[in-house]
Amino acid sequence: MTEMPKSKGSLLVQDARTKQRNNSESRFKLYGIAAISVGLLMLMILLFTIISRGAGAFQQTYLTLPVQLLADKLDKNGNRNLDEIKKVSTFGYAPLMSAALEAKVAEVGIETTLKPKAMADILSKDAAAQLRNFVLAKPETIGTSLEFKFLTNSRVDGYLKGRVTRASIANDKNINAEQLDLVDALIADGSLGKQFNLDFITGSDASDARPEAAGMGVAMVGSFFMMLVVLALALPIGVAASIYLEEFAPKNWITDIIEVNISNLAAVPSIVFGILGLAVFINYMHLPNSAPLVGGLVLTLMTLPTIIISTRASLKSVPPSIRDAALGVGASKMQSVFHHVLPLAAPGILTGTIIGLAQALGETAPLLLIGMVGFIASNPPDSIASGLMSPNSAMPAQIYEWAKRADPAFYERAWGGIIILLVFLITMNAIAVLLRRRFERRW
C-alpha cells in the first residue's frame, strides 16, 4: 500500500475542494426549496382563483314579495280541480308576478316609470315555476295572499356581486339603468338581498334563460350512483384478480403478459374507455344513453387497473414469514391468504380503492361520449333503479357544461362547482391518508 499523501491543510480550515463541495450542497438545498416554493405558490394561486371566483355561487340574490294568488287567473272554474289548475302554464303565472311587484313598488313608494312587466324582469324566470309548483302542491292557497322569496335575474344578482356595473350594462338588453334604480330602492327597503344559496348545492341544472336557478345537487346524485357502481364492481373484481395473480397464479409468460397489460391499461387515456363504453354498453348492449349505470361501468374499466396495481403492491408488502407461519401450522393456502395476508393488506387495498374512486369522480372525458354532458335537468331520482337508469349528469361534466355557456353567471357557477368537487376529493383523500396512518403495519 502506498502512503496517504500528507495533507497540508488543517481540519479546522476548509480547503478549496471542501468549500466547493459544501457550496454545491447548499446550492442544491436552495434549488429544492425553490422548487417547493414554486409548487406552493402555484397551489396558492390555484386555490385563490378558485375560491375568489367560485365563492359567489354560494350566495344568491332573493326578493321577498307578497303575491296575490288570484283565483280568476289560476282556477277559472273555481272547483279546485288539480288537473284544471295544471292547465295554467308558467306563462299564466307571469302576470301575477308583475302585479305583485307593482303593488310592492307602490307600497314602498318608489318612483319609477317602468311598466309592471319591465319591473318583473328583475325577477328570475324561475319565479313563475316556483309559484306554480307551490300552487300545485297546495291548491287550497288559491285566493289568498302569501309572501314568497323569489330568485332575482342573474344580471341583478351580478349587480349585487359587483360583476355587473352601471357602466357594463350600456349595451345590455337584459337590464337597464332604471331597473337597477328599482333594485337599489328595494335593497334600501330591505326586501332584496343576498342570502346563502342552498339550491346551488341541492338543485338541478337550469337553462340559459335562468342561470340563477342552476344547482349541482342532481349531478352530485349522478356522481354518487356512478361511484356506487364503480365500488360494487371494481373492488371485488380488482381484489379477486390481484389475489389470484399475486398468491396463486404460476409465474410464467402468460401471467407476465397479463401483468404488463394491466400496467399499460392504467396508462390508457380515459377517453378511450368512453369510446369503448359507447360501442359496448350503449350500441351493443342497448343500455340507455346518459345513464349513471353506463357511466359507472365505464369508470369501472378505468379504475380497475389502479385498484389491481395498488392491491398487488399491498399484498406484496406482507412479509412471506406470515404466509410461511400459517402454512407451517397446517393452514391451507386459501386459509393463509384470507385469514392472515388479506387482513394485513386491507388498509393498503382500501387506500388504493379510495384514490381510484377519487380519480373516477373527477373524470369527464369518458362521460362526453355516453351522453352525460349536456342539459340534463332531471329531478333527483326517487329510487335506486331510477338513480342508475334515468339520465343524469356528473359533477365534473356539469362544471364543463356550465363553463361553455354564454351567460357569465354560469361561469361563476362552474367555479363554485369546482369548489364542491374539490371538497369531495379532499375528503376522500383525507380518509385514505387517515386509514393508512391508523391501520398500516410496518415490518
Partner 1 sequence: MSFTKLATSALAIAAVSATAAAARDQVQVAGSSTVLPYASIVAEAFGENFDFPTPVVESGGSSAGLKRFCEGVGENTIDVANASRKIKEKELAACAENGVTDIIEVQIGYDGIVFASDINGNTFEFTPEDWFTALSDMVVVDGELVKNPYTAWNEVNADFPAQDIQAFIPGTKHGTREVFEEKVILAGCEATGAMEKLKEANGGDEKAAEKACITLRADGKSVDIDGDYTETLARIESNKDGIGVFGLAFYENNTDKLQVATMSGVVPSTETISSGDYPVSRPLFFYVKKAHIGVIPGLKEYAEFFVADEIAGPDGPLAEYGLVSDPELAATQAIVADENAMGGGS
Residue from 276, 263, 355, 265 nearest 312 by CA: 263
Contact predicate 329/261, CB 8 Å: no
The backbone torsions φ and ψ at residue 151, rounded to the nearest 5 degrees and listed phi first, read -70, 150
The backbone torsions φ and ψ at residue 263, rounded to the nearest 5 degrees and listed phi first, read -60, -40
Q: Pick from 388, 399, 420, 421: which binds partner 1 (CB under 8 A)?
A: 388
What 3 state SS string does 94-148 have? Answer: HHHHHHHHHHHHHHHCCCCCCCHHHHHCCECCHHHHHHHHHHHHCHHHCCCEEEE
Contact predicate 398/421, CB 8 Å: no
Q: Pick from 45, 339, 375, 423: which binds partner 1 (CB under 8 A)?
A: 375
Q: Pick from 118, 142, 272, 377: which binds partner 1 (CB under 8 A)?
A: 377
In order, the DSSP letters of 9-78 are S-SSS--HHHHHHHHHHHHHHHHHHHHHHHHHHHHHHHHHHHHHHHGGGGEEEEEEEEEE--HHHH-TT-
Interaction between residue 66 and partner 1 (CB under 8 A): no
Could you say which residues in the range 80-109 bind partner 1, by CB under 8 A? Answer: 86, 89-91
Q: Pick from 146, 228, 327, 428: which binds partner 1 (CB under 8 A)?
A: 228
Rounded least distance, CB 288 to partner 1, Å: 5
Helix (H, G, I), strand (E, B) or coil at 162: coil
Residue 435 carries which side chain, given as an amino acid letter? L
Residue 172 carries which side chain, given as an amino acid letter? D
| Closer residue to partner 1 in complex, CB, 46/232 | 232
CA distance 212 to 123: 10
Could you say which residues in the range 100-159 bind partner 1, by CB under 8 A? Answer: 125, 129, 132-133
CA distance 431 to 357: 12
Interaction between residue 241 and partner 1 (CB under 8 A): no
Rounded least distance, CB 89 to partner 1, Å: 4
| Closer residue to partner 1 in complex, CB, 261/289 | 289
CA distance 316 to 246: 7
Bridge partners, 64 (sequence order): 149
Count how many Cα atoms sit within 13 Å of the Cα of residue 258 in the half-sphere of its side chain: 14
Helix (H, G, I), strand (E, B) or coil at 249: coil
Rounded least distance, CB 403 to partner 1, Å: 7
Interaction between residue 229 and partner 1 (CB under 8 A): yes
The span of 38-46, 58-66, 178-186, 370-378 binding partner 1 (CB under 8 A) equals 370-378
Rounded least distance, CB 270 to partner 1, Å: 18
| Cα distance from N-terminal residue to C-terminal residue, the chain | 44
Fill in the per-residue mask, 161 to 180: x = in contact with partner 1 (CB under 8 A), - = not in contact: ---x---xxxxxxx------
Fill in the per-residue mask, 257 to 286: x = in contact with partner 1 (CB under 8 A), - = not in contact: -------------------------xx-xx
Interaction between residue 182 and partner 1 (CB under 8 A): no
Fill in the per-residue mask, 284 to 323: x = in contact with partner 1 (CB under 8 A), - = not in contact: -xxxxxx--x---x--------------------------
CA distance 209 to 225: 29
Interaction between residue 206 and partner 1 (CB under 8 A): yes
Interaction between residue 246 and partner 1 (CB under 8 A): no
Rounded least distance, CB 387 to partner 1, Å: 10
Contact predicate 429/355, CB 8 Å: yes
| Closer residue to partner 1 in complex, CB, 104/210 | 210
Interaction between residue 390 and partner 1 (CB under 8 A): yes
Q: Which residue has the cell 342508475?
A: 388
The contact set with partner 1 (CB under 8 A) reads 86, 89-91, 125, 129, 132-133, 164, 168-174, 206-210, 228-229, 231-233, 235-236, 282-283, 285-290, 293, 297, 371, 373-379, 384-385, 388-391, 403-408
